[in-house]
Homo-oligomer: A and B are copies of this chain.
Amino acid sequence: MQTVFDETEFDKYKSIVQQALDSGNFVPIDRLFNEELSVVDLAHLLESTPSKVRMFLWSFIDEIHQGDVLSYLNDEIRQALLGKMSAEEIVETTQDIESDDLADMLQQMPPEVSNRVLQLMPSDDRSEVEGLLVYPEDTAGGLMNTDVVAIRADVTVETVLRYLRKLELPDSLDMLWVTDRDSHYKGSLALPRLLTTAADVTIADIMSTTIKAIDAYADEEHVAQIFERQDLISAPVVNGEGILIGRITIDDVVDVIIENADHSILGMAGLDEEDDVFAPAIKSSQDRAVWLGINMATAFIAAAVMSRFEASIAEIVALAVLSPVVASMGGIAGSQTLTLIIRGMATGHVTRSNLSWMILRELGVGLINGSLWAIVIGSITVIWYHSFSLALVIAAAILVNICLAVLSGTLLPFILKSAKIDPALSGSVILTTLTDVFGFLTFLGLATAFLL
C-alpha cells in the first residue's frame, strides 16, 4: 500500500476517465471509481468535470459510497444530483451523512421534498436534524453538529475514562465539554490532558476556561474569526440560556473561510461562489450577463459625461486620447484603497473606531502618489503633445482624481455596509463609475476652462 501522497496522481485519474469516455470502454472508470479512488478524490473529480459528463460518471459510484461523496461536493453540484433523486433515494443515500451536513442539504431543497425526506427518516435521526433546522444555515447553530460529550466538573479522571469507554466516540473528538447539572457550559478538557493526568484528580482541577462558548445565532463569519484568532479545533455552542447544545468543528469552519474568500474573489467579477465552474455555456452566460449589463450602464454614464465635452474634444483631439488615462489612474488608486478596506473589515482590523485615522492616511497616500504621477504624466504629455498648458491641466486632473478616488475607496465600504449592501459585490463597480466620472469631469472640465 502506498503511504505517501503523490501530487501528479490526480491528473492521471482525469486522463484515464477522459480516455474511457472517448473510447466508449467504461471498465477503467468502474475500476477507478470503486477500487482505487477515495470518496474525497471522487468528489474532486466530479467537481472538475463538465456537468453533462458528471451525471453519467455519478452512476458508476457504488450506492453505498454515494452519500459520502455527496457530503464533499460543492453546494450547487450536490443539489443538482439530489434533484434527480426521489425522496426515498435521498433518505437511502444520505443515511450515513453527519446531521449538520444533512440539515444544510435539506435547507436548500424545495420544502415539499425536504418534508417528505424528513417523514421517511428514522425518528431518532429526524428529531436530531429537525433540531438543527431551527438555525439558519449561516449561523453557529447551522454549522454545529450535536455529537457533544459533556462531563461534570466534580467527577474524577477515572470516572470520565470509564464513562467514555461506554460511548462510541467520533475520531474527530478533541475536547470534552464541562457543564453543570443544568447543562450550562462551564469549560473544556482536551483529550490528551485526560490521558496524562492521574486517575484520582478531579476534572475541576484540570479543566480550562479559555474557550468561550459561541451563541447559536452568531454569524458564521464571526465564528470563523473566533476559530482563526484562537487556533481552535472545536468550540462549544450554547443557546440563549447558556445551555450546551452542540459543537462546531474546524473542518466546517475551513469551509466557511474558503467560501468567504471565494465570495470576495469571485464577487469582484460579479460571480457567485456557489456556481458550478463547469456549467454549460448557456447557464454560464446567464450567470454573467447581469454583471455585464450593470457595467454597461456605468460605462454609458461615463460616456454621457464625456459627450458633454464633444465640442472641446473636436477642437483638441488629444483630450479624447488622454481622458481614459486620467480615468484609469483614478480607478487603480481607488481600487487599491477599496480592496484594503474591504479586506480589513472582513478580518475585523478596520472598524469605525479607526476610520478617521484611515481617512487621513489614505488622503496622505493620495497626495503623495497623486503628486508623483501628476508630474510623470504631465512630463509625458509635454514630450508627446508639446503643450505645457495641456500638461498642467492633465497633471491637476490626475492629482484631484487620485485624491477623490482614495477617499471614495475608504468611505464607500462603510456607506454600503450601513445600507446593508455587500461591498465585496458592488464596491468595485460603483467605485469605477465614480472615478470615471470624476476623471472625465476634472480633466475635460479644466481643459474646457483653460485651454479653449
Interface residues of A (CB under 8 A from B): 1-5, 7, 10-11, 14-15, 18, 38, 40-41, 43-44, 47-50, 72, 161, 164-165, 167-174, 184-187, 190-196, 208-210, 212-215, 218, 222, 226-231, 233, 238, 242, 250-251, 253-254, 257-258, 260-262, 264-266, 268-271, 277-278, 280-282, 284-285, 288-289, 291-293, 295-296, 299-300, 302-303, 306-307, 310, 313-314, 317-325, 327-329, 332-333, 335-336, 338-340, 343-344, 348-354, 357, 361-365, 368-369, 372-373, 376-377, 380, 436
Q: Are the C-beta atoms of B310 and A321 separated by less than 8 Å?
A: yes
Pair B282/A340 contact, Cβ less than 8 Å: no
Task: Assess the A324–B302 pair: CB atoms within 8 A.
Answer: yes
Does B48 lie within 8 Å of A350, measured CB to CB?
yes
- The answer to whether A227 and B254 touch (CB under 8 A), given A172-B233, A348-B44, A368-B285, is yes
Residues on the B chain within 8 Å of A50, using CB: 354, 357, 361
Enumerate the 7 nearest inter-chain pairs by beta-carbon distance, A residue then B residue, closest first. Answer: A281-B364, A261-B261, A320-B320, A169-B192, A231-B251, A171-B190, A5-B212
Question: Is the beta-carbon distance between B349 and A277 smaller than 8 angstroms?
Answer: yes
Q: Which residue of B lies closest to A284 (CB)?
A: B365
Q: Which of B169, B210, B218, B364 contacts A7 (CB 8 A)?
A: B218
Q: A251-B231, A291-B336 are in contact. Are A4 and B242 (CB under 8 A)?
A: yes
Return chain B residues, CB-CB under 8 Å to A357. Answer: 50, 278
A18 to B357, CA, bound (A): 11
A242 to B4, CA, bound (A): 7
A352 to B11, CA, bound (A): 9
